[in-house]
Amino acid sequence: MTDDESAERTVREERALSPMRKTIASRLQESYREAVHVTVNRSVDAEGLLSAVAAADPTEDGVSPSMVDVLLCALSDTLDEHPAFNATFEDEAHVLYEEHNVGVAVAIDDGLVTPVVADVGSKSLGELASERRELTERVVDGDYTMSTFRGGTFTVSNLGPLGVDSFDPIINPPEIAILGVGRITERATQNGDGDVVFRRQMPLDLSFDHRVVDGADAARFLGTLAEHLDAAEKYV
C-alpha cells in the first residue's frame, strides 16, 4: 500500500442515537467533564450475604429477595455511617440527604438506565424486593417516565451476572459515588486456624468524586459495607 492509498471501508449500517441513548451519552459526558473520577476496589466475603438470601422467605406476592436486595439493606446501613457518600455535588455545594434513594442499574435496549428505589432505609427486605422487582419490570417494559430516574442519592451497578469480575463504574451526576458489583467466585483463603478453606467472595468497585471525598473515606466506606455484609442475616 502506498502513501496515497488507504484501506477501504464499506459501511454495514449507520445507526442514529435514540433519544434515550442521546440522554445517556450527554450525562456520561457531563460526568467525565465535571467529576474527578477515582475508583477503589475491594473483594469482600460473600458467605453472609448468600446465607441471608437462602434464608429469606418469599414475599406475599411471591417475590424471593435476591442478592441485590440484601446488598441494598447493607448499603443503606453503610450510608448511615458514611453520609458524605449519600449526596450530590452541584454549584460548589456538597449536599447530604436523609433518604437513601438508590438507583439500581437496569439494562434495556437503549442502554443502561438507573430507576431509583426511594428511601431504601425505611423498607424491610421483603418490601425492597417487591418494589425493586416491580420497578425493574416496568422499566424493561417501557412503562416509565423520566421521574423514574430522578432524585437519586447513590447508584449501584451489578455486572456480576454477566461474568464481569471488576470494572470502573461511571458516576451518575450530580451524585458523587457509584458502587460496582462483580461476579461472585469461590477462592481459597486461610482461616484463623491456619487451614485453607474455600469461601465465596465478591468484588466491589466504588467510584467517587475526588473533589468531594478522599480515597481513605472510600476505603473506610467499603470496610463498613463488608462488615454489614458479613452480618447480612440480620436483614432476614
Whether 228 is catalytic is no
CA 104, distance to chain mean position in Å, is: 6
Cis peptide before 174 (omega within 30 of 0): yes
d(C-alpha 85, C-alpha 107), whole Å:
24
Residue in 37, 82, 94, 210 annotated catalytic: 210
> Which residues are identified as catalytic?
210
